[in-house]
Structure 1
Amino acid sequence: MENVKVNKNVSVRTRNLVTSALLAAIICLVTGYILHIPTPNGGYAHIGDAVIYLSASILPLPYAIACSAIGAGLADLTTGAIIWVVPTLIIKPILVLCFSNKSDKIITVRNVVGAFFAGIICCVLYMFVEGLYFGNIMAAFTITAVGMIQPIGSFIAFIILGLVLDKINFKKFYSA
């Protein structure tokens, strides 16, 4: 009987590890390479944060932290945004703390509120780092309107993707 429990735990750990790796790869792809929306400052908005929000709503906390840091960090590294790798490795796991995977659904009141606050936290932390990098923290915060395109897009994408996954009972299937 005890061996069955150990095997089941290994299976859960394996499933979480594989899911984390898959989500890290998706985060990297949608952050750095696909589904970009051009912004007025010459950059682009992406839905990588929406996938981070999904991972935080599906996976246990340590796995969600790892896949968010690895996926977003690899996106910065492979797209030439080297100066953003270290801040990304710190900021993206902080966003995960706004979410819970305890419900049978992805879209819960806590996760919707969490997505709202995660967007604000992400925007503020990156603006702070930008101010440090470029020597003017106040100037970094004056471009808030452009900087908010990213979290708004991620919030909307998270809600849409979460509702679709909830419609097909993804979390019940995933935990089975």
Structure 2
Amino acid sequence: MAELSAVRQELRSRNLSSSFGELQSPQRDEQKLAVPFCGGIRGGLRPGKKITIMGVVSADPDSFDISLTCGCADVALDMCVRFEEREILRNACVSDQWGDEERSIPYFPFIAEQPFRVEIHCEHPRFLVLVDGHQLFDFYHRVMPLNAIDTIQISGSLTITKLN
């Protein structure tokens, strides 16, 4: 989790923030989807809203992170994909306190140099996360209100090809 804090600090120092959904030209797409990525979620999250991340895993991946945050404060969902351990860690940080980490997954869906599609569905009690159309895990909300969750951060061993 300290790695995530370091990435956030670097993003702030380099002023790499954007608001996805406003991409206007191919040149801007490439610039805005560079990793590490930090972008705004217009209007924040609400039940029924979905975030889709399409990308390609790097050739020799170590890990990558996808985080949904309240600006640079609380972390509503930190999803850390670790290749060596073949695990996906999930957690939340509320008022500078990390909660209990969740690890259980039915399978490990990511493969080096292969494309993937992650869908994060915001439902009333939880996030429902699918990879390539298959449910991977649920993560029950620890941060409220949901519309305060207004930022997505992505870093690590991947290339982002599309973000909706």
Same fold by TM-score, threshold 0.5 exceeded? Answer: no
Larger Cα Rg: Structure 1 or Structure 2?
A: 1
TM-score by length of 2: 0.31
Q: State the structure with bigger RCO (CA 8 A, min sep 6), 1 or 2.
A: 2
TM-score by length of 1: 0.29
Quick check: which one's helix share is greater?
1
